[in-house]
Structures are given as C-alpha cells and as structure tokens.
Chains A and B, each alone.
Chain A
Amino acid sequence: MRIGLPRALLYFYFRPSLEYLDQENIAEILISSATNKRKLEQGLALCDEEVCLPVKVLMGHVHSLLEEVDALFVPRVISLEKKRYICPKFLGLPDMVRAGLGRKTPLIAPEINAGWSKSRQLREVAKSLRLLGVQPLKLWDALNRAEEVQKQHRRQLAVALDLPPAGKRVAVLGHAYNIFDEYLNFSILKKLSLLGMEPVTVGNFSRDQINQGACGLSKDLFWSYGRELVGAAFYCLNSRAVDGVILVASFGCGPDSLITEIIGRRFSDSPIPLMSIILDEHSSGIGLATRVEAFVDMLNWRDMA
C-alpha cells in the first residue's frame, strides 16, 4: 500500500522526521514533487477562491498524488503545544480536501492534539494507520526516533545566530510553507544569498531565544507558529542579531494579519528595517525581486552614509 504525502503546509515543518520515516520503510511513502505551475492551477480550480495560497497549493499536490497512491496523508492538526492552536484551517483540512476532491477520497487523517496524553495520541495514529498493518510497538518506536531526529535537526539549525555572519544577516520570517516553497516565494532565500546576505529563518532561533522574545507580548499568543514569528522578531529587535527583517505572509492569512501589525508597530521606531511581503497567486517574481534588491541596497547604503 502506497501513501501519498503532499509536499505542502506542515511538510515543511516536519521534513526531517518525515524523511526519516520514509527511509525507515514503515510504509511505502510517495512525497509529491516540488510545487509548479500545474499544481498551483489545479489547486486553484479545486479550492474555494477565498482560502489562502498554501491551502490552494496543498490541493494541487493532493490532486497530483491521487492517481499514484492508495491513500493520502492529511492529518487533522488541532494543536502541537498545550493550549495553543496553529491555524483554524488545519482543524478542518481533511474536510476541505474531501469537499474539493469528493467524499470518497481515501484519507489517512489522524487527529493530532497536544492536549491528549501520549498514549491516547499513539492510539489515534495507530488507528488511522491500521490499514498498513504496522505493529503499534514498531510504530511507537519509529515515531519516537523520528521525534529525536526532528529535535536534533532543530538544535543543529539553532546555532546559526551564534556563528559569525557571512555578510549582512537578514531574518526572513514567515510560515515554513511560504518560506521554503521556492515556487511560491520566487526563491527569496536564494536571492538574498546571491545578493551577499545571510538569510536566517524562524528555525535558526532557539526555543529560548523565541521565548525570550515572546515575553514582550502583552498577552501570550494562542497560535504556535504565530508566537514563534513574533518571538523571533522581538528577539531580533532586542539582541540586534540581524541587520534587517523581511516578513513573508500569504494574502488573507488570519493569524498573520495581526502578527504583521504587532511586529510592524514594535519595529516602527527601531533602527532595524522591516519589509512586509504578501504572497498570493497573482504575485510576480519580478516585483518581488525588485523589492528585495531595493531592501538589500538600502541595507548596504546605510553603512556608507
């Protein structure tokens, strides 16, 4: 039995552990290829027009996999931390996919809820994977190791800020599915590197640094990833660890509409420049390149003045 894994949304957060599970041969996993024009257009055709860009892209990926797999892995992620959600769209994601592709679409959609105990969570995952015939014990073992891989990956990334910068450092802050999907953001990270900057993302901040930054909030944010963004941005502000910040959000993103405002307000009287980029299916690579180049020029010219 083959399981399709769309290269979209939370894939970009859990890439290390998902790839580890793929190698472990727990099941035959097929990860969709990178986003391209066809996937995006297919997603646009299948989705309601008001959903955000990353969900439209997910639909395209799911559609591209349909022919080749027996079931699709689209979990219902309620929360990844206690008392914090990620975004309302993840709560209804399997339902949205079913609405777009028909109710008969074979989905593996375990509920992921940080409010549950670990054993209850494992039961839920094991139940959803029972078609594969994996033994719960083996699954438990594999999941634990995958978690370790994920943690280690995070630790490796988090040292970036302590190393001497290679060129000016620019924090590119946004949801992983916007930052690491090169088709959606027109390879903004590569572009910055080519211009002699060192881009850092939320993953490069350690948990402590993010918590330290998020202390500056008047009320703790109830979105896990939103809180990471604000924490990282505020940490940049306090520690002066970066030379500039670029916020990348998708059009119509609920959490980001407030997060951009909260961060922008705090940065308005700081010496660290901030640029906000909104992505949607109408974005143009040329326009984005011009804005990024202008931002980099401004950073470079600040030294000369």
Chain B
Amino acid sequence: MKITFPHLGYCSIPLRSLFADLGHEVIVPPPITRKTISLGTRYGPEFACYPLKLGLGNFIEALELGADTLVMGGGIGPCRFGYYAQVQRDILLSLGYEFKMLVVEPPLGHAGEFLAVLREVLEEKSWFDLARAAQLAVVKLGACDDIQRASLKLRPLVQDKLAFSRLYQQTLMEIDEAGKVRDVRLAKNTALTAMEAIPRLNYKPPKVALVGEVYLIAEPAANLRIEERLGNMGVEVCRHVWISQWLRVNIFLDFLRLHRQEKAEKLAQPYLQCFVGGHGQHSVGETRKAIQEGIDGVIHVYPFTCTPEIVARGIMQKLAAQEGMPLACFSMDEHSGEAGFQTRLEAFVDILGTRSKEMNSYS
C-alpha cells in the first residue's frame, strides 16, 4: 500500500510516522502551493468549503506521485466534512485515478467501520505493533504542538525572527526524522532551550485570541500563515484548538464516554445554547473567555460558507460590540489575497496598539 492523506498543518509528521511504522510506503502530498489550490478549485464543487478543495488538491498531487490508498476522515454531521470523502472519491474516480479510499469514521457509533479500516491498515501487523506506532505518532504530535505553542509565545519577542523561523522549521524536520520516543523528546527539549536562548526584545506583546474552524486554524497554507504574520508583528497568539487535545477529547474521551462539557461550551451557552456543528459553539465560548481574561483582541478564521461558523459569527459580533472587544473575522477561500490580508491584519494590530495607549493614558 502506498498511503497518502490530506495535509493539516504539521499533522503529516505523526501520520507519516504512524503508517511508516506499520510497514507501509507513505507518500506525503507535496506542500500546499498555488498548484494544489488551483487543482482543488478546478475539480471540486464551486460552493464547497476550502478544506474540501485543498484536500482534493493534495490527493491529486499524491496520486500523481504514485499513491494508491487515500486515508480520509469521516463524520456524522451536521458539518458537511462528514461527506467530503464520498464527494472527493467520486471526483477522483471521474478523473480516471485508480485507488482505494479508507474513510476513518468516528469510533463511537461506527465501531464496525472503524475497526474494518484499522484491520485493512494493519494487514498482518499485530495490535501490539499498532499500539507502539500510535504511541510514537501521538508523542510526535504532542511535540509539534509544544513547539508551536512555544513559538506563539516567543516569536513576538525575539529580535531575529528569521533565525527563529529557521530553528522552528529545523525542529519540525528533526521530529519528523526521529525514530524513537526518546529522540522526539530530545529534539523537542533541545529546540525549546534554543528558542529560549534567542535574544529578546523587552516589551509586553498584545495578546490576540485566534478562534474558529479547526482546519483553518491548523493549516498555515489555508490561513495565509496568520500565526507567523501576527508573531512577526509582535503579537502573541492564544489559540484554543490543538490537534493533540482535539484527538484526546473527540476520539478517546468520547469513545470512553468520559467526555465532559468543556469550559468554552459552558461559556457559550447563554449566547449559543447548543452544538451547531464544527467549532461554532467553541468560537463563541472562546470569545467570551477572551473577554473575561482581558485579552486584547479576537480573530475569527473560517472557510467561506461554513454554516456553523457563520451562525457563531453573527453572535460573536454582537457580543464583541457589546463588550468593546475588537473582533476581526476572516472567511478564507481560494480568492484570499495575501496583500489585502496583511493590510487588514496590520490595521487590526494598529487598533489594538492605539486602544491600549488610550487606556493607559486614562488610567
């Protein structure tokens, strides 16, 4: 089996490690470029959201490189992501590609289908092999999340942003290449020490909460590297969606029925009472949390036409206006231009700066 999967930020690192350890050849799709975007938009449905199109582009590029097994997530609604695999398969088949698609449905409620996919991937490997491969993958994912967390905190402060970016990229590469849990931890700890050691500016960065849909938050190619841009402008990004945490809550805890209501969901309830699919309720809850925690601004990113986030957006805008919280909403798709995006971000950051100066002069 030559396995491939769509990109989701640095998730290709743990996924590659997982499938490679199970003895498969892994074809990681080429990084998302203009070509990926145009392939996805050319063959994908016009009004489908950006993640479908980018995933489709990833699959086409990987199939061109010889992949024959596509791994894709499933779902049970109401977010349309749950039907993406079927639509993508139909499109790819009509383009004449030959492949097998493995759709990973959520284990709770679809245990049979989930196990069938697992067996298919395992082939003659044992459950023990799976556990070992999964452990390494989870550790790698956690390490990537830790590095990203550190970079969100440190990037606005370091003097040499370029050296910082280089160190960040190099660390991800080391984590990707590490073959043992110990090596991953070593790479992570060395990098964290090196990051701390870079000379810093002496200033207190404004804080911005980045909320919204998980794909758009986690995939830099889709959000036009928003975290890096904000970091380079000297803004600290606080983010609530982490893939490792998402896996823990939605796969393991849900499966064991230990899932408890999260804080963000509770906070959202007076404004958005129930789950609306995707991360809609979280976006509202995180906005309220940001207001309570005295964060300077909120940035909302989501794919254009994403219904759950649009429901959340109307509510967030009223809430933010009421509480005097600066809020910028970015609905992203293949037409998002970098220059316009940069200008809007800069304007937003300027507002934060002016506000804090005004507040200081009043107090």
Contacts and interface: CB of A to CB of B under 8 A. Distances in A.
Interface string A43-60: 000011011100000000
Interface stretch (A10-18, A32-40, A124-132, A216-224): A216-224
B178 interface: no
A31 B78 CA distance: 29
Nearest to B271: A95
B47 A88 contact: no
A285 to B, nearest CB: 22
A264 B273 CA distance: 36
B315 interface: yes
Contacts of A92: 272-274, 276, 280, 311-312, 315
Given A78-B274, A252-B47, A258-B45, A47 B314 contact: yes
A228 to B, nearest CB: 15
A88 B309 CA distance: 10
A67 interface: no
A142 interface: no
Interface string B257-294: 00000000000000111111110100000000000000
B118 interface: no
B80 interface: yes
B45 A260 contact: yes
Contacts of B331: 50
A48 B276 contact: no
Contacts of A76: 273-274
A258 B80 contact: yes
A95 B45 contact: no
The prevalent SS among residues of A at the interface is: mixed
Interface in B35-76: 45-49, 74, 76
A219 B310 contact: no
Interface residues of A, number: 42
Contacts, number: 126
Nearest to B94: A265
Interface string A225-255: 0000000000000000000000000011111
B273 A95 contact: yes
Contacts of A252: 47, 305, 310
Interface in A181-232: 217-219, 221-223
Interface residues of B, number: 46
A83 B313 contact: no
Nearest to A111: B274
Given A76-B274, A254-B80, A99 B47 contact: no
B283 to A, nearest CB: 11
Task: Pick the most buried of A78, A89, A255: most chain B CB atoms within 10 A of its CB.
Answer: A89
A280 to B, nearest CB: 11
Interface stretch (B81-89, B121-129, B238-246): B81-89
Scoring B47, B89, B278, B317 by chain A CB atoms within 10 A of each residue's CB, the highest score goes to B47
Contact of B76 (A83, A94, A111, A262): A83
A155 B45 CA distance: 35
A222 B47 contact: no
B189 interface: no
Interface in B106-161: none
Contacts of B313: 48, 50
B273 A88 contact: no
Contacts of A111: 274
- Among A85, A86, A219, A262, the one with the most B-chain Cβ atoms within 10 Å of its Cβ is A219
A222 B76 contact: yes
Contacts of B87: 258, 261-262
A96 interface: yes
Given A219-B83, A219-B86, A99 B308 contact: no
Contacts of A106: none
B28 interface: no
A291 to B, nearest CB: 17
Given A91-B276, A260-B47, A261-B48, A48 B310 contact: yes
Contacts of B317: 48, 99
A91 B305 CA distance: 16
B31 interface: no
B86 A87 contact: no
Nearest to B74: A219
A262 B90 contact: yes
Contacts of B90: 218, 262, 265
Residue among B87, B94, B308, B314 with the highest chain A CB neighbour number at 10 A: B314
A257 interface: yes
B77 A50 contact: no
A87 B276 CA distance: 9
Contacts of A262: 86-87, 90
A168 interface: no
A223 B45 contact: no
Contact of A84 (B47, B77, B89, B103): B77
A273 interface: no
Nearest to B270: A103
B318 interface: yes
A260 B318 CA distance: 33
A136 interface: no
A52 B308 CA distance: 12
B314 A88 contact: no
Contacts of A51: 310-311, 314
A99 B78 contact: no
A94 B278 contact: no
10 contacts: A50-B310, A50-B313, A88-B280, A89-B276, A89-B311, A222-B83, A252-B47, A254-B79, A258-B48, A260-B45
Interface of A: 47-48, 50-52, 76, 78, 83-89, 91-92, 94-96, 98-100, 111, 217-219, 221-223, 251-258, 260-262, 265, 278
Given A87-B78, A94-B273, A95-B271, 6 more contacts: A48-B310, A91-B276, A96-B314, A255-B80, A257-B45, A261-B87
Interface of B: 45-49, 74, 76-80, 82-87, 89-91, 94, 103, 271-278, 280, 304-308, 310-315, 317-319, 331
User: Across chains A and B, which 4 residue pairs bring their CB atoms closest together, nearest first?
Assistant: A222-B77, A257-B47, A48-B314, A261-B45
